[in-house]
Amino acid sequence: MTKRGRPASFDRDEALQQAMQVFWEYGYEGASMTQLREAMGGLCAPSLYAAFGSKEALFREAVARYRSEESPLWLDSLQQPTARAAIETMLRNAAICYSTPGKPRGCLIDLGGRRGTADSESVQAYLRECRLDSAERIRQRLLRGMAEGDLPATAPVEALTTFYATVLQGLSVQACDGATREAMLAVVDCAMGAWQGMVPADT
């Protein structure tokens, strides 16, 4: 009952990893199937389509992998004991991840595609959903802080959510434009300075 037929010449998981890297660096429309195939171990087109279905399906899998492997590097920081520490650690780790040598600068989801041809609308919508999901995780963390008492009940949760999501996305642009890690960490300090302004009762 072993597997029949000619054995595959590539490892699906590793190929997906490489595809993620290419999408991360060039975006959805910017990455061509030829370029992807070369990075995925030089597999031929039919093999790629048999394994992943289409460019969009491949991209969605690549994004899923990104979310499960890369984005936790900063999003998991939300599990810090207090809401304030959670947000600050998240931003700090994002600044660090966005400027890691050997990896594309910035976030795949933030930079992978925003404007594009009309036929890539579904991809843009998918990426937007991912971004909204990150914001939602921020929001949930703030609410948790409120429930646990480390965030005053009067804190403007919605505004803080959108604000820190804005900073997070802005950091991707900054990283993409070449901002140094130190400059981005300074941005995080500024952003956390806003905490006192918006949450005055928080000592």
Partner DNA sequence: AGGAAAATATACCAATCGTTATAAAAATGG
Partner DNA sequence: CCATTTTTATAACGATTGGTATATTTTCCT
Site string for a copy of itself, 126-165 (x = CB under 8 A): --x--xx-----------------------x-xxx-xx-x
Residue 128 near residue 65, CB atoms below 8 Å = no
Determine the Cα–Cα distance for residues 63 and 86; give it in Å rounded to an integer. 24
Q: Which of 50, 65, 53 is nearest to 19 (CA)?
A: 65
102-121 mask for a copy of itself (x: CB under 8 A)?
A: --------xxxxxxxxx-x-
Binding DNA (rule: CB under 7 A), the pick from 44, 125, 183, 190 is 44
Residue 125 burial (CB count, 10 A): 10
- How far is the C-alpha of 49 from the C-alpha of 172, rounded, in Å? 31
Q: With binding defined as CB under 8 A, does residue 25 bind a copy of itself?
A: yes
* Residue 11 touches a copy of itself, criterion: CB under 8 A: no
Pick 44 or 183: Cβ nearer DNA: 44
- The CA angle 72-74-79, to the nearest 5 degrees, is 85
Q: Which does 54 bind (CB under 5 to 8 A by kind): DNA, a copy of itself, none?
A: DNA
Written in H, E and C, the secondary structure of 25-85 is HHCCCCCCHHHHHHHCCCCCHHHHHHHHCCHHHHHHHHHHHHHHHCCHHHHHHHHCCCHHH
- CB under 5 to 8 A by kind: which of DNA, a copy of itself, none does 34 bind? DNA
- Among the listed ranges 25-33, 62-70, 144-152, 162-170, the one in contact with DNA (CB under 7 A) is 25-33
Q: Draw the binding track, 111-150, toward DNA (x: CB under 7 A; -: no contact).
A: ------x---------------------------------
Distances (CA, A) of 138 to 22, 142, 144, 190: 28, 6, 10, 18
Out of 13, 27, 49, 77, the only residue in the binding site for DNA (CB under 7 A) is: 49
Q: Which residues bind a copy of itself (CB under 8 A)?
A: 25-27, 29-30, 32, 110-118, 120, 128, 131-132, 156, 158-160, 162-163, 165-171, 173-174, 176-179, 183-184, 186-187, 189-198
